[in-house]
Amino acid sequence: MNDRIPVTYDAERGTFTLRTANTAYQMAVTEYGHLLHLYYGETLPDNDVSYLIPRVIRSHESNPPEAGTDRTYSLCAYPQEFSSNDAGDYRIPSIELVNGDGSYAFVGKYVRHRIYDGKYSLDGMPSLFANDGKDGENVRTLEIDLEDSVTHVGVTLLYGVFFDKDVITRSVIVRNGGDSGIRLQRIMSASIDFTAGDLDMIEFFGHHYVERQTDRKRVTHGISEIGSFRGSSGHFHNPFAILCDPDTTEERGGAYGFALMYSGNFVFDAELDGYGQTRAAMGIHPKQFEFLLEPGDTFTAPEVVMAYSGEGLGKLSRIYHDIFRGNVCPSKFVGQDRPVLINSWEPFRFTFDTQKLLETARISKELGADMFVLDDGWFGDRDSERAGLGDWTVNEKKLPGGINTLADSIHELGMKFGLWFEPEMVNEDSDLYRSHPDWCLRVPGRAPSRSRHQLCLDLSRDDVCDHLIRTVNAILDSGKIDYVKWDYNRYVCDVYSTAYPPSRQGEIYHRYILGLYKILDGIISTHPDILFEGCSGGGGRYDGAMLAYFPQIWCSDNTDAPARLTIQYGTSFAYPVCTMGAHVSVCPNKRTKRTVPLKTRALVAMHGTFGYELDPAVMTKEEREECAEYTQFFREHASLIRTGDYYRLASPYDDRLYTAWQFTSKDGDESLVCAVTTDVSTNDKVSYVKPRGLDKNAFYTVRHIAFGNDKNDKEYTEERLLSGAALMNIGIMLPLSAPQYSSFLLFLSRKKKA
């Protein structure tokens, strides 16, 4: 048996086996045509582990008619690959629909399958792609057709197996093969049944300014659910979840990850039944979702990216980091070190002119910034949040000569130029709204809900999408623009589109997201030389699908360094550091009023794309010189931060005294270790940071990186030579006398053999 074959089918046993470098996934077709889930976990050489299915009588449970008198065959007790509905399985279903005759039943049975090289793609939605053999990738697709023999409604289960990346993707296509319309009310992109029920669930919750906080809890009997019903993946819950063994840590134990490639309403359910089995399901949130499928129509569900690690949560994160860095976004900027930018919002808000902008850009060069970004206020009558949004024409009272003139002037300074947009929203005080009030989402007969004085444009309409593609492209083509910040500053509500009849209003949430992807395709794909950064009031729409368009996403509007420790910690469980927009901001911080040393603010911002969110004109000469040091250091090590393996060394939740993290090059030769003291007390215990991922038999030169006043302290200039074993088992002592929010940066380099 060739263990490097990603997909195999054993016709005699009716088993499908998916293999990656370190995992196996197996399912089987029963004698009655049901597709059962058998196993997902560490690699197995076995072709058939169906003995795991208990053939016992579950009293008071239903048995399908084809099983006859066999009371041991019960769908409610069997682990299914795609669960049925209204057919004796009372757990959360993979699909819910209303058939043409008004019934709700769906029982999908195996019809056929296909196996082919490469990776499937999804119509109108982002998904992982294969790199055509690049870097030794070994990718294969399995498609399995199930059909209900009565209604002729069918589903195609899609599996993409990335052998070398240890990732399996799943999606579903629903097709109406019958002769009357059906109403699809629930479709889960992935459902998986675990015969064991002793699991923890880790979710990432929060709100604006406090995104992706971690919460770990036991999966108890009943349904544990997370999700978003805000029209976007949202600040409050992220479309990523982990199921793991109760004793799983960063370095040990089993962990399963589920990441939904979708930017709209989503749900993740985990149900522990009375028999100690757990069913997990992920997909579009079913609330206010109903899609009409006429005969012959199909519906494509978004993709779920699944991964398993038997070596703890840290290994699981590194699997996701590698796949999201290499197989999501086609932008050339994914493989490049990013520019260090400074944004105009903090100095000016809406009040600026060309002279002020150019002077700020000149001063920002002293910080080492190489890109100047003009934020909100450059278009229409945009002098506040109340007006002008939607009118994407340059306000030449502020910017004589338009974007082209300003962009040329910025480039003459030796800097790149970036621009802010919020295309999905509109003010009522705008020419666009006055011309097309019907282009907004708005329930007939009701006044709309406003957020930040904005309404949501109806992206389910082709005319709206085409208008936005045309107008934004016109601005991008008017001058040398190197960067775009794409913002989205409210949630969707008042969901009703005048372009669709009442019977199809349940489709609008999903059609909005499809329209968004259409717009992004129509703008970003036609401007491959522009770096696009996503933003949604900070990190309110931080998901795998957005990463297909944006190589980086503004992680949070909260730039307070201690607050960012928890935000960036939680984000790192799924998303690589190179995708996290992070900047140095002023102190006292405008959100928290906290004062933190400049060095700490800089090191926390290096846990991301790095840049500045402040007014350089009010900084002292010494502060600007110090920032130039940080910028230079980041540039020197940007590739290591962008591509290296990432380790969470100390949690901001569990380790009271400090938070620490590490970047290690793929070859293990270099490593950066960062730590921030988060609490202090008199005569406290000694803290030791223990790096990971080193060669225990190698020796490493350990050097404290000194900046500014640090250079006068011997402790920050002394080098040590320590073995990988000593570093990983004993660690490096942090100074006892360090004040709160001090930070430390260590550079480890492998000593070459003589």
Q: pTM for the complete prediction?
A: 0.97
**In whole angstroms, what is the distance from residue 575 CA to residue 578 CA?**
8
* Domain locations in the chain as residue ranges: 7-326, 338-425+463-491+529-643, 648-750
Which amino acid is residue 48, in one-letter code? D
Report whether 15 contacts 1 (CB < 8 A). no
Question: Count H helices, E strands: the chain?
Answer: 12, 39
Class of domain 648-750: mainly beta
Catalytic residues: 543, 623
645-650 and 719-723 strand pairing: unpaired
Task: Residue 589: name the closest of 624, 559, 566, 568 by CA.
Answer: 559
pLDDT of residue 136: 62
CATH superfamily of 7-326: alpha-galactosidase from lactobacil brevis (2.70.98.60)
Compute how many other C-beta atoms are within 10 angstroms of the C-beta atom of residue 435.
11
**In whole angstroms, what is the distance from residue 265 CA to residue 493 CA?**
12
The CATH number of domain 338-425+463-491+529-643 is 3.20.20.70 = yes
Helix (H/G/I), strand (E/B), else coil: 154? strand
What stretches of 525-581 show up as alpha helix (H) in DSSP?
A: 544-547, 561-571
Give residue-wise pLDDT tens across range 570-603.
999 999 999 999 999 999 999 999 999 999 999 9
Measured at the alpha carbon of residue 172, what is the angle toward residues 168 and 176, in degrees to the nearest 5? 165
Helix (H/G/I), strand (E/B), else coil: 685? coil
Give residue-wise pLDDT tens across range 629-684.
999 999 999 999 999 999 999 999 988 899 999 999 999 999 999 999 999 887 78
Q: Is 149 exposed, middle or buried (0-12, 13-18, 19+ CB in 10 A)?
A: exposed
State which H helix or E strand residue 403 sits in. helix 402-412
**In whole angstroms, what is the distance from residue 188 CA to residue 82 CA?**
9
User: Tokens 């490097």, residue?
Assistant: 4
DSSP label at 302? P
DSSP label at 674? E
Mean pLDDT, 10 residues at a time, over the chain (754 residues)? 85 96 96 96 89 84 87 90 91 97 97 97 97 78 98 98 98 97 98 91 97 96 95 95 98 98 98 94 97 98 98 98 97 96 90 93 95 96 95 95 95 97 97 98 95 96 98 95 97 96 98 98 97 96 98 97 97 98 95 95 97 94 95 97 97 92 96 94 85 96 85 68 96 88 95 77
DSSP 209-273: TEEEEEEEEE--BEEEEEEE-SSSS-SSB-SEEEEE-TT--SSSB-EEEEEEE-SS-EEEEEEE-
pLDDT of residue 263: 98
Helix (H/G/I), strand (E/B), else coil: 534? strand
Report whether 124 contacts 514 (CB < 8 A). yes
Report whether 441 contacts 492 (CB < 8 A). yes
Report whether 471 contacts 379 (CB < 8 A). no
pLDDT of residue 529: 97
**In whole angstroms, what is the distance from residue 414 CA to residue 484 CA?**
18
Bridge-partner residues for 16, per DSSP? 9, 27
pLDDT of residue 736: 78
Per-residue burial over 519-530, b = 16 or more CB atoms within 10 Å of its CB, e = otherwise: bbbbbbeeeeeb
